[in-house]
């Protein structure tokens, strides 16, 4: 029989963090409601565009399950590099098509590049998993 570790302090900590997270979400929703219609529309548009991009990025590498076996038959690492490059390029194209304006400033560009790096690592991890499942 397995038990979760942490004891009572761990459970209290989880509860406290849960309430803090709920409070922050409530404050964010209240802040969006208090905005003017133009600002609220811009925030909601950014949220759905980001969510759509995340769905694309999360689902795209799993399409590789259809043809990963054939790629493994080639037996060269360049096929994997090309696969990851194509997946990342599609992520970039999807992100650019969902942008309403180019990022402005260092931190915005830094955040975009960091998110793209995370997407590329996710592509790699999914491709490795699929190759492992296919026997490669």
Q: pLDDT per residue over 121-131, tens digit each? A: 999 999 889 88
pLDDT beyond 90 at 18: yes
The answer to whether 67 and 40 have CB atoms below 8 angstroms apart is no
Rounded Cα–Cα distance for residues 11 and 133 (Å): 37
Residue 1: per-residue pLDDT: 44
Q: pLDDT per residue over 101-116, tens digit each? A: 788 889 888 988 999 9
First-to-final CA distance of the chain: 35
The answer to whether 114 and 83 have CB atoms below 8 angstroms apart is no
Rounded Cα–Cα distance for residues 120 and 118 (Å): 5
DSSP code string of the chain: ----SSHHHHHHHHHHHHHHHHHHHHHHHHHHHHS-HHHHHHHHHHHHHHHHHHHHHHHGGGGGGGTHHHHHHH--HHHHHHHHHHHHHHHHHHHHHH-SS---SHHHHHHHHHHHHHHHHHHHHHHHHHHHHTT-
pTM of the model: 0.68
């Amino acid at each position: 029989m397995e038990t979760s570790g942490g004891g009572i302090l761990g459970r209290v900590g989880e509860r406290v963090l849960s309430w803090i997270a709920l409070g922050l979400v409530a404050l964010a929703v209240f802040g969006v409601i208090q905005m003017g219609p133009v600002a609220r529309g811009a925030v909601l548009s950014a949220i759905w565009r980001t969510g759509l991009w995340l769905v694309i990025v999360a689902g795209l590498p799993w399409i590789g399950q259809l043809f990963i076996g054939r790629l493994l038959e080639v037996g060269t690492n360049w096929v994997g590099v090309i696969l990851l490059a194509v997946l990342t390029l599609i992520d970039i194209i999807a992100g650019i098509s969902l942008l309403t304006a180019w990022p402005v400033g260092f931190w915005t560009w830094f955040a975009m590049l960091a998110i793209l790096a995370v997407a590329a690592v996710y592509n790699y991890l999914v491709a490795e998993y699929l190759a492992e499942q296919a026997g490669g």
